[in-house]
Each structure stands twice: as structure tokens, then as C-alpha cells.
Amino acid sequence: MAAEGFTLWDSVRNSEALLTKPHVQFLYIHHILKNEEQKLAKRLSTHHTFISYSEGVARILENKVDKAYISISSDDGFKNNMAAAGILDNYEIKACFFVDPSMIEYRTFVEIETHFRERLNFPPVEFLDWKDIAQLQKWGMRLVRIP
């Protein structure tokens, strides 16, 4: 869907000027569909320089936004983040993953279903586990603990 959106965006007059204007774009992802991975990475890198979440925040605070930057993060801690992280790693793109450690402990379907019903109002999906966290760190992704 994101790749389709970029195609639509390109049809907007003066989109090139808007994309290249100095800014920091924070892109929040949940997952990337397999058939969109190369198209999305290529499209984003055409007009943006990938930077870490921390660098993006620092550039804004220090008023050092001299070109188009993009920072990627995810805030859900879902297991399907691993597929997106693997794709990002293939392109040497680092992302920030916000993770609630208490959710990593949920292993049974009943625990997961209860959490989603009571807190998220969203269909249940599997959470990252400690092995996934270790892999994200190995790929150089930033992990931020959220309460």
C-alpha cells in the first residue's frame, strides 16, 4: 500500500520539490509486504538519506536539517516486525523498535488474546520474543523500552 501511495504522490504536481526539501520524516512501520520490499527501499532512498531515530531527533532539536532525511521505527513489538527488520538489514537501514518487555513474556494464546482485547482492541498476533530481541540487536537496530 505504501508503494502504491508513492506512485500516487508522484502524480501530484511539484512532488519532487516537496520530497527534496530539507526535512526529517519519521516513518512508523508495522510490517512490509514481501512484494513491496525492494520498491519501497529504492523509492525512499531516491529522495532521502536514512538516519537513526536518535539522529533524526537530534537534527531537529539542533536545527541541523540540511536535506531530506528519513528515520524508521516500529512501536508495536509484534513478531511480524522481524520480517520488516530483516528487509531493512538487507539494505543496511537501521530502525528503532519500541518494545514493552512485559508483552514479550506473553506466550499462550489466552494471554495474547486477553491483552489485545483489553488494551488494544485489535485482533491478536504473536509478540516478539527474547530471541527476536537478540537478533534485532545483532542487526544493529535500536531497542527502546516502553512501559
Residues 9-31: tens digit of each pLDDT: 555 545 566 667 899 989 888 76
Higher pLDDT, 26 or 87: 26
- Rounded to a whole number of angstroms, the CA Rg of the chain reads 17
Q: What is the pTM of this model?
A: 0.74
What's the length of the chain? 147
Helix axes 2-10, 37-47, angle to 10 degrees: 40
What grid cell was written down for 39? 520498491
pLDDT band for position 64 (50/70/90)?
Answer: very high
Q: To which residue does cell 489466552 refer?
A: 110
Q: What is the mean pLDDT of residues 125-132?
A: 88
* C-beta separation of 51 from 59 below 8 A: yes
Helix axes 81-90, 37-47, angle to 10 degrees: 50
Amino acid making up residue 120: L
